[in-house]
Structure 1
Amino acid sequence: MMIQKYLAEQGICSRREAEKLLKAGLIQVNGRPATPGVPLTPADKVTIDPAAQKILGAKTTIAIYKPRGVMCTKSQAEGMNVFDMFQEWQHLNLVGRLDKESEGLLLLSDDGLITKQITGSQHRIEKEYEIITLEEVDAETLQPLETGMVLSDGPTLPANIHFINRHMFRIILKEGRNRQIRRMCGQLGLTVTGLKRIRIGSLKLNNLWPGDWRRLTLSEIQTMKKHSTGQPN
């Protein structure tokens, strides 16, 4: 795969923008400046200089509190979605997802570097959730979540668990599969009645309420982009 195509498919920039970044020496492959047209292999590591943002222009990233019952989609055929709630941000893209019955922190952005950093499987960025269950739980019940489990789509990475009370705990994941937490809890015979994402990396939900939004600060964006590196598939 040519490097311009890789950068475009990752959502980082267009192929034309990639050529500008390459000519400016802002893209490295395996620690060396890359040139337009260089082919990539799965073993190659691509690094993007933070100064690339000046060439790509101003980008927008916002944090929202997605309420329960709202879909993470742009489709009008599936009921209320986040872009119905935040119509002024319809030009932005979803950075990851939360299922319809989950709530909490979600990012919308037109910044490919942010999207790559959060959703790219090679980055393993932490995401923290607050879970409420119908059944009572204790440290022993939750132990399999910490050691790792085998789901239909393969084994999970070990999770960090913080026990709160008999019906509530927090879980920190470094991966994001479809309905992963609900499936993991289901294997333990637990019914999830509440699921709220409260943190993505260093970014916290803090004082946002359902339906609220705010722009990320420059400092928050720079922290997200600190290690914008990856490998081509």
Structure 2
Amino acid sequence: MNRIRHGFCEDQYTRGEPVLCDPIEMPFVGLVLCGALREDVRDAQGERRLFALTFAGELLSPLGPQRIGGQLSALEETVLLTCDRTGFDALVADIPHLRLNLLHLLQGQIAATHRWQTLLGRKSASERVASMLAWFHARHGGKDKLLLPVNRAELGQMSGLTLETVSRQIHALKKAGVIAVPQPTHIHVLDADALHALTGDAPARRAA
């Protein structure tokens, strides 16, 4: 592990700070050690839109922030480990299974995203919002107090719901005592079991 850490560059970012990644010098591997990153891209109309969220223990999106007009920034205090292709190849020479570990991690993230999108399309509005919040809760390591990395409109875009519907469902969860929203950007999960039960896939989660 010490050999791997010495082969990577470690950079710290404060909340809202942009991650400076030159498209030509993009790291071959980017791993979030702690915190969270948000990547935005410009759509056909020139508006910035959410492209990806990366949490602790996850790799940067496979395409990386290399699209024209893309912007990568820290959502909170974040530590990012990066390694270029030459450095990674040198590490693999010493640790052959490292390349396979990287492939498995990427495959796992892609499979999880595909499975998530498939399941989300089968759920009711209340189950979708509960699922999104439970997903963020899990990706924050199950902490009761967590950063909400998207606003209500973006949460609607991700779940296929209108802003008004998302707001109603969040209000319902607050009224039921499942969550508290002390700030628009933060959520306190007061009853994690109830939140997961409302996702519609609690039995499968318990079986796992």
TM-score, reference length from structure 2:
0.26
Q: Which has the higher helix share?
A: 2
